[in-house]
Amino acid sequence: GDSVTQMEGPVTLSEEAFLTINCTYTATGYPSLFWYVQYPGEGLQLLLKATKADDKGSNKGFEATYRKETTSFHLEKGSVQVSDSAVYFCALYTGGFKTIFGAGTRLFVKA
Amino acid sequence: GAGVSQTPSNKVTEKGKYVELRCDPISGHTALYWYRQSLGQGPEFLIYFQGTGAADDSGLPNDRFFAVRPEGSVSTLKIQRTERGDSAVYLCASSLNARGEGSPLHFGNGTRLTVT
């Protein structure tokens, strides 16, 4: 069945470091791909999305490119801030009503 | 505008008891979802409503779990004869629709259920 695999956390970085969180997927058809973020004490919220191959989603300095050939959607940011500390979830939607989430990757950014 | 509202935010109950969890979606969102999130895991799909009807309940773990959305807005997730394994954060999400390329989900803050 459809599934999402994310790199395990926690990921600990110093402020201004480069961030990559890996995400790969298995899906039938052509899914839409998402990154959601959960800040401490808050609900999950959409960070960015891409709906077809080679699309790049971007928001708040974060980017992810939909790579069909490697079935990947890695999240990147060039310079992280303390305020980026959160749990990041990769997710996919294949049109069957449900969005399928990865297990989440916790990011800690130190000042 | 107001986001997705879930009540209560925390619920502690004894094994065997019945609980109801409420979700008030964003006004105008016809699609409503319930997910369950265990510690260290991503949200796991339970049930999806389009309007008043449950279009997909394939994620409900067993017949102790039931959800309703009688007027196409507020939804209630009901758990009978609770077990310790039901302890988790129950998340509600809504979206404008569920078709096409996938409308982003708008989540509430969840109800943390603890079964003792």
Least trusted range by pLDDT, from A2-16, A74-88, A89-103, B74-88: A89-103
Average pLDDT on B52-77 reads: 93
B96 touches chain A (CB under 8 A): no
Q: Is the pLDDT of residue A102 over 70?
A: yes
Query: What region, left, alpha or beta, does residue A71 occupy, with left being phi > 0 and alpha being psi -120 to 50 degrees?
Result: left
Distance from C-alpha of B35 to C-alpha of B78, rounded to nearest angstrom: 13
Window 36-95 of B: residues touching A by CB (8 A cutoff) are 40-45, 48, 55-56, 59, 91, 93
3-state class of B86 per DSSP? helix
- With beta carbons less than 8 A apart as the criterion, state whether B112 and B51 touch: no
Q: Is A93 on the interface with B (CB under 8 A)?
A: yes
Closest-approach residue (CA) in chain A for B109: A43
- Chain mean pLDDT for chain B: 92
Quick one: how far is CA A21 from the chain centroid? Answer: 7
Mean pLDDT, range B40-61, rounded to an integer: 91
Mean pLDDT on B33-58:
92
pLDDT mean across residues, chain A: 94
Give the other-Cβ count within 10 Å of B97's Cβ: 11
Q: Do A93 and B33 touch (CB under 8 A)?
A: no
- Contact yes or no for B88/B103 (Cβ under 8 A): no
pLDDT confidence of residue B101: 60
Rama region for A103: left / alpha / beta (φ>0; ψ in -120 to 50; rest)? alpha
Give me the pLDDT at residue B100, please: 57
Neighbouring residues of A78: CB distance < 8 A, sequence distance ≥ 6: A18, A61
Q: Which amino acid is at B29?
A: H
When pLDDT is cut at 50, 70 and 90, the band that residue B104 belongs to is: confident
At B96 the pLDDT is: 83
Q: How confident is the model at residue A86 (pLDDT cuts 50, 70, 90)?
A: very high
Minimum distance, in Å, between the CA of residue B18 and any CA atom of chain A: 25
Q: What average pLDDT does range B3-18 have in this prediction?
A: 97
